[in-house]
Structure 1
Amino acid sequence: MQDSSETSDRHTASTLTVGLIPAPEFPEQLVSLIIDELADHLCREVDDTCQWQLDRVTDPLIGAEDSTRDILSKAHELSRSRQWDYIICITDLPVFRDRQVVVAEVCEARSVAIISQPALGASPLRRRLAESIVQLVSELHHGSSEAERDRQQTRHFSKRRSFLDWWRRHNARGLMRQRLSERIAPIKRVNVEDDEQDIDVRFVAARRVPGLCKLLGGMVRANRPWTIFPTFRKIIAVAFATGAYGLIFPTLWRLSDAYEPWRFAALMVAAMTAMIGWIILDHGLWEPQRHPRAFPMARLYNLTTLITLGMGVVFYYVSLLGLFLGAVALFVPSSLLQTALGHEIAIVDYLSLAWLATSVATVAGALGAGLESDETVRATTYGYRQKARQKRARELAEEAEKHQKRQ
């Protein structure tokens, strides 16, 4: 726990500085979106007798270490050089304690708190992250004991001036406001004693399965599936060229006329599954599950990769379908199609032909996935980014060690 004199000095200071240490990429982007508004939130929600300043340093180590103790130590070392009063680390690593999904942790002795960004879910991330930071600063500033939380709750209600002001506030023991997602996957605040990680308070998912689903959604969001589509440019070119060539043959026309809806659907699912599978195998995206300790995290990374690629491939399929609808309407005359099929032509016949052509072309596109570089495709997956960051962290540690030896 904090020394009482140290806490008193901080509370009487006119200006308090909160240092934010996000991991690179997505956490860094989120922090840049909310940092300008945090000072007002801290003044209103935590302590309006102080002036609040925010500082930010992006550190790859925060996103490379899976040990809370290591993160706490590195954050504390960084804060001493910058004279921060409180430190909030935002990592994009999933954190587990006794099979529970951890959302945030507080260490009062070092004035450091940690937020696991994926555990916040997929949306609305900006507001969830801002509310979480404010709550954790409150824990560090006022204390985490039950008595301090009672006093802080009283302060919340005593400052209430309107219904809107009350609605904006959340419980002094809650990490964030209660939304539908928090009701389905509630977050529980736990006071920790005799913890090996030097943690005083931990916010965990109260229900394991909803908490894991929320974590998975946050990991997929961090992958930003919409950024995968540009990597499919060459694949779309190969697929469209293959499908367009097939449209000149009446065999494809007759097949589209003879297929039942379930055949179209089955072929579509098979084509998309083949494409996802080939991308994973060709670019080595599957995380090996070599030993029991690595299994839970590897399974999460693999499931995240499947969902991310699935969303990207669905978007790719819809885009390709739109291209083939235009190609069928432009290149296949209705009179010729009617002669080949032997009956009157309706819009559904063009739709069926475009749907079949898209599925056939997707199979060819799967083979064309090998045209993309490994780096381009792997950058969209969670496990690869973490490996690259861990490698960078090791390099930085080795450089620091060599520098110390020279001195």
Structure 2
Amino acid sequence: MKPLIIGLVADPAKPTQIARGFEDLHEKNDDGRHAWDVEVLSEPFTLACEDVDTVLSRLTDQGREHRWDLVVGITELPLRDDDGRYLLIETDPQQRTAVVSLPALGGLHMHKRSKHALRELISGMADPATEGDRRVALPHRSGRWRLLLGMVLANRPWLLVPGLKSALVAALTTGAIATINSTVWLLAGSLDWWRLVLATIASLALVIGWLVIDGELWDRPDDDSAQARERSHLYNTSTLVTLTAGALICYLALYLLNLAWAMFVLDPAVMGGYLKQPLGHGDLFVLAWFVASAATVGGALGSGLESDEAIRAAAYSKREEERRERLAAKRNQTTSAR
């Protein structure tokens, strides 16, 4: 029996990486022959949280063009049905097409979960006896949080650290100088813990706000519809959570490095004698805390934050903008060829 040809159309970046893991995956019949083979096409095929019928229509066109028996789209964008529910899977059994939204898997154990979901989906679509109209929607209450977690983890906030390398260098330089300044010692020792907490929050908020403004990461609705507003709200929330997580990682690294530097170069007894007040090694932790907040503002904002690819990738709206540009370029090429 001739094997079925399964076409996987994957958005660039993470969906394509996952799809590539299926290229060598072959199901076999009882006679040892392949039941289906997989071909992968890396191409943007989704636009925002648009109607899934449009997505399935594009996948159907790809299937006809490449003469695939079954077509499955893999996207990292959220998809919704007409009732406003977020979807994990939507199928069109008549056209033998389906689409999978990776963020709806929740982000944790993504490769394992996606492999299981795709295998089950393709096996069901390939079997005429079990194929049917299959839609997997997320729960109304918990589904949004699951989707948001998947979007944030897909943004990989830890990769913001290399994207902020210039700001981190500037902040470390500022912190190294401030650590040995007697005035900074006096300020750190005079602050209550709640003031230090507020300083931390304020410094992180300034950096995150500057990243959003400088990188133009804030998404605005395309129109005044409820769906467009919901999409922008979801994108902006995922962007802010991603930037907050990345900034916290940088702040913690800055604190630990400042603390290590203070313990290496400073003797609390000597500094206490100079300031004429008792100081101990515990005061170094407070000093490093205060210096981390001050250096985050003075170093990061003073240096000018670069618009690195890792920072732009933290915003779903920016990735969506790139998809639109790719699709527009492809349409122009197609029109020119005709």
TM-score between the two structures when normalised by the length of structure 2: 0.90
Q: In the TM superposition, what are the counterparts of 1:165-204 in structure 2 within 5 Å?
A: 200-204=133-137
Which structure 2 residues correspond to residues 217-256 of structure 1 after superposition, within 5 A? 217-256=149-188
Question: Counterparts of 1:351-370 in structure 2 under 5 Å?
Answer: 351-368=285-302, 370=304
Contact 2:211–2:305, Cα closer than 8 Å, also in 1: no
Aligned to 1:162: none
Cα offsets for 1:200-238 (capped at 9, x unmatched): 321101x21211111111111221112111011110122
For 1:243 and 1:48, locate their aligned partners in 2 and report how far apart those are by CA, in whole Å: 66
Counterpart of 1:211 in structure 2 is 143
Q: 1:271 aligns with which of 200, 203, 208?
A: 203
* Cα displacement string for residues 54-78 of structure 1 (whole angstroms, at most 9, x for unaligned residues): 1111112246783423332332232
**1:127 aligned residue (103, 112, 116):** 112
Contact 1:24–1:63 (Cα < 8 Å) also in 2: no
**Kept in 2: contact 1:279–1:369 (CA 8 A):** no
Does the 8 A contact of 2:51 with 2:80 survive in 1? no
Amino acid at match of 1:119: A
Q: 1:23 aligns with which of 11, 14, 22?
A: 11
How far residue 30 of structure 1 moved from its aligned partner, in angstroms, is 1.6
* 2:91 partner SS: strand
Pairing 1:6-405 to 2, within 5 Å after superposition: 13-36=1-24, 38-39=25-26, 42-43=27-28, 51-62=35-46, 66-97=50-81, 98-143=83-128, 200-205=133-138, 207-289=139-221, 291-293=224-226, 294-368=228-302, 370-373=304-307, 377-404=311-338
Counterpart code for 2:88: V
CA distance in 1, matches of 2:198, 2:31: 60
Are the aligned partners of 2:48 and 2:78 in contact in 1 as well (CA < 8 Å)?
no
Following the alignment from structure 1 to structure 2, what is the Cα–Cα distance between the partners of residues 313 and 96? 31
CA distance in 1, matches of 2:14, 2:303: 26
Equivalent pair of 2:16/2:42 in contact (CA under 8 Å): yes
Gap change, CA 1:272 and 1:253, over 3 Å in 2: same
Structure 1, unpaired ranges of 5+: 1-12, 153-190, 192-199
What is the deviation of 1:341? Answer: 4.7
Residue in structure 2 matched with residue 155 of structure 1 by the alignment = none
Evaluate the alpha carbon distance shift between residue 384 and residue 301 of structure 1 in structure 2; reply closer, same or farther with a 3 A threshold: same
Distance 1:134 1:247 in 2: 56
Cα contact 2:9–2:42 (8 A) shared by 1: yes
| 1:253-301 Cα deviation digits (max 9, x unpaired) | 1222222222222211121111111211222111124623421000011
Distance 1:297 1:65, change over 3 A: closer
Q: Do the aligned partners of residues 81 and 319 (structure 1) sit closer, same or farther apart at CA in structure 2, a change above 3 Å counting?
A: same
Letter in 2 for 1:66: E
Question: 1:92 is matched by which residue type in structure 2?
Answer: E
Q: How far does residue 379 in structure 1 lie from its aligned partner after superposition?
A: 3.2
1:158: which partner in 2? none
Percent identity reads 30
**What is the letter of the counterpart of residue 255 of structure 1?**
L
Q: Distance in 1 between matches of 2:140 and 2:23?
A: 31
Task: Provide the C-alpha distance between the structure 1 equivalents of 2:305 and 2:202, rounded to a whole number of angstroms.
Answer: 21
State the alpha-carbon separation in 2 of the partners of residues 65 and 353 from structure 1. Answer: 47
Once the 2 structures are TM-superposed, how far is the Cα of residue 105 of structure 1 from its aligned partner? 0.6
Which residue identity lines up with residue 142 of structure 2 in the other structure?
A: P
Residue pair 2:179, 2:258 contacting (<8 A) in 1 also: no
Change (3 A) 1:263 1:140: same
Gaps of at least 5 residues in structure 2 are none
Q: Which amino acid aligns with 1:383?
A: S
Give the TM-score normalised by the residue count of structure 1. 0.76
Shift of 1:117: 1.0
Counterpart position of 1:159:
none
How far apart are the structure 2 equivalents of 1:61 and 1:292? 22
In 2, the alpha carbon distance for the partners of 1:216 and 1:376 equals: 19
More off after superposition, 369-378 vs 321-330: 369-378
Structure 1's 87 and 271: CA in aligned 2 closer, same or farther, altered over 3 A?
same
**Do the aligned partners of residues 66 and 48 (structure 1) sit closer, same or farther apart at CA in structure 2, a change above 3 Å counting?**
farther
**Distance in 1, Cα, partners of 2:31 & 2:215:** 51
- Alpha-carbon deviations, 1:165-215, whole Å to 9, x = none? xxxxxxxxxxxxxxxxxxxxxxxxxx8xxxxxxxx321101x212111111
Q: Which moved more, 1:334-343 or 1:104-113?
A: 334-343
State the secondary structure of the residue aligned to 1:314: helix
Residue of structure 2 equivalent to 1:178: none
Secondary structure (helix, strand or coil) at the match of 1:96 reads: coil
8 Å contact from structure 2 (residues 7, 41) kept in 1: yes
Q: Deviations over 1:12-47 (max 9, x none)?
A: x341221111110111112223443x42xx449x99
